[in-house]
Amino acid sequence: MVLLYSLDDPQHPIGTRQNGIGLMGFGKSVAWLDDQGEKAVILANSYTYSNYQWISSFVHIYDIQLDGFSDSTQPILIYPNSQQITFPWMRPPFIRLVCSPFGHLAIFDDLGIPGIIYSAPAGTYPNTNSRYFTSNTVSCIRGTYRNYTGIELCMPCSNGTYTYSSNCSLCTSPNSFCPYGAVEEISYSTFESIEQDQDYPESPENTVFDDILMQNMFSFNLRFAHCALVSPITWVLLVVGLGVIIAISMVIHEVFFPGTHITRDGTKQILKKLDLIGEGEVFQFLIDICFCRFK
């Protein structure tokens, strides 16, 4: 549990906050970031109760004047973060922090190695990716701002505003807009209007299954080899063509060799083997008709 006191009234705490069940180390070191008692810095360590094993170390900064201090209060800054990383030479376990009257913050790891985060003026923020033991000052990223001196990060401009110097200015032009984190007013004319008209497929004229089946059976699509191969009309034409070739061969053989019936007998034997139901009687009858017709 962390208790925040003011030197003016040490009998009554300003606020309290608990770390939760199962972990210890929250509030291992506490300091005021300024002399007015507006912002508090808390070392939020996490250790296990069983063997006092270290899990993580963070530095939380709370705006006590605006948000108060309770279990539901969220910090305005958590160090380290994506823009303010841990100093390269420091170990992750932090054991102590100290603040100066000017808003500077010093952090010590478990080996006593310090890292100092200097308070940066408006329009900048302290960068901790440094080769030295102290942070350096860099300008705010475009689309973000900070109009006061401190160690916090720059914040993105809200909707309807854009970054101008160290503040956010309102979008005044009626023909422009400013999204979240805008760097300037964006004119509507820079965007092309796109109408997303989607054409839905038309329903087929035939909805009866028999009609659709008959329509697909007699369709012959030569654009794709697979469609032509699986089309029923392809196999019908193939069988008809084979039959025509056999019939022409038999007629030619009977005209030039009337005394022999090798072609007719061979064809009858082949068709007899293929006719599994009638044992060749149907095909044999058709051959006899063709033979009598052209004899």
At which of 118, 135, 152 does a domain end? 135
pLDDT (tens digit per residue) in 231-243: 777 778 888 888 8
Q: Is 286 part of any domain?
A: yes
Same domain, 8 and 101: yes
Q: d(Cα 113, Cα 116) in Å, to the nearest integer?
A: 10
Separation between Cα atoms, residue 253 and residue 249, nearest integer Å? 6
Of 112, 135, 158, at which residue does a domain stop? 135
Let me know whether 129 and 18 are in one domain.
yes
Same domain, 126 and 234: no
- Structural domain for 277, as ranges: 219-294
Q: Is 153 among the domain residues?
A: no
Asked if residue 120 belongs to a domain, the reply is: yes
The pLDDT, as a whole number, for residue 293 is: 47
User: Do 16 and 130 belong to one domain?
Assistant: yes
Cα 65 to Cα 35: distance, rounded to the nearest angstrom: 13
The verdict on 226 and 113 lying in the same domain is no
User: What pLDDT sits at residue 49?
Assistant: 81
Among 72, 107, 135, identify where a domain stops: 135
Split into its structural domains, the chain has a count of 2
Q: Is residue 171 part of a domain?
A: no
- Asked, for residue 131, whether it belongs to a domain, the answer is yes
Q: What pLDDT sits at residue 10?
A: 61
Distances in Å between the Cα of 147 and the Cα atoms of 95, 103, 116, 168 are 31, 15, 22, 9
User: What confidence tens digit (pLDDT) does each residue in 56-73 have?
Assistant: 999 999 998 888 888 888
Output the pLDDT for position 241: 86
82 inside domain:
yes
For the chain, list residues with pLDDT below 70. 1-15, 17-22, 196-222, 259-261, 263-264, 271-295
Do the domain assignments include residue 45? yes
Residue 186 lies in a domain: no
